[in-house]
Structure 1
Amino acid sequence: MSIAAIESVLQQMRANALQAGSGPRPAGGPADGAEAGGFAAELRQSLNRINGMQQHAYGQAEAFELGKSGVALNDVMVDLQKANVAFQTGLQVRNRLVAAYQEVMNLPA
């Protein structure tokens, strides 16, 4: 797994996040212990966006089930699918990172 492939996936995740309407966190926001602009911070932000999308979708689904006005079934289904795609993308990134780590660990010393 090359670094270029990982960067490509991260760019796709950023584009998906922007399309979903969740931009980057404010500059003064907490970094949860990660340095700003680093790989760990970017990964953490991506995971937080995925979690946010899932929480929003599940909230929409619950609101629809309770019969709240202004919540349409098609919006709920689209939000659930977006959250699922984001989760699957995150899962594939994790799998590729683990594979890259294992490949590096198996390199001869």
Structure 2
Amino acid sequence: MTDAISSILSQIRAHESRTQGALGGPAGLGDALPSNAVDVARPATSDFQKTLSNAIDGVSKAQNESGALQQAFELGDPRADLARVMVAMQQSQVAFKAAVEVRNRLVQAYQDVMNMPV
């Protein structure tokens, strides 16, 4: 299970680095700011929110593709062989379990912070 979580986290990080590269814009506008400057136009939570949203969308897409392959197999489509259906089902199951584990850890971290004495 730890390998699956590590894999999902590395995919999220890779996706985040790709999106940050794409958000740099033409002529590297982000390079004009000093490293300690605060970007007022974009809140810091938007990157996390986008990353989390993209991860959830990926899980949803995997589940939808798995369901479509299952239905195609049940209807006798020759392109949907049993091996592909089983692999797609396992991939969607692992993605969902990883998402649930990440959610559980986020909830636990939130509870730990809320229970800290001031």
When normalised by structure 2's length, the TM-score is 0.65
> Kindly tell me: are residues 14 and 103 of structure 1, through their superposed partners in 2, closer, same or farther at Cα, counting changes over 3 Å?
closer
> Kindly tell me: are residues 96 and 14 of structure 1, through their superposed partners in 2, closer, same or farther at Cα, counting changes over 3 Å?
closer
Give matches, 1:90-109, under 5 Å: 90-109=99-118
CA contact (8 A) 1:64 1:73 kept: yes
Structure 2: tracts of 5 or more residues without a match: 13-17, 24-42
**2:68 alignment partner in structure 1:** 59
| Equivalent-residue separation in structure 2 for 1:90 and 1:101 (angstroms) | 16
**1:12 alignment partner in structure 2:** 7
Deviations 1:47-83 (A, max 9, x none): 0000000000010000000001211101100100000
**2:78 alignment partner in structure 1:** 69
| Equivalent-residue separation in structure 1 for 2:49 and 2:75 (angstroms) | 39
Counting aligned pairs with the same residue, the percent is 34
> Aligned Cα RMSD in Å?
2.6
Shift of 1:12: 2.8
Q: Number of matched residues?
A: 88
Give matches, 1:18-29, under 5 Å: none
Structure number with higher helix proportion = 2
Structure 1: tracts of 5 or more residues without a match: 1-8, 18-23, 29-33
> Kindly tell me: are residues 84 and 67 of structure 1, through their superposed partners in 2, closer, same or farther at Cα, counting changes over 3 Å?
same
Larger radius of gyration: 2
When normalised by structure 1's length, the TM-score is 0.70
Q: Secondary structure at the match of 2:78?
A: coil
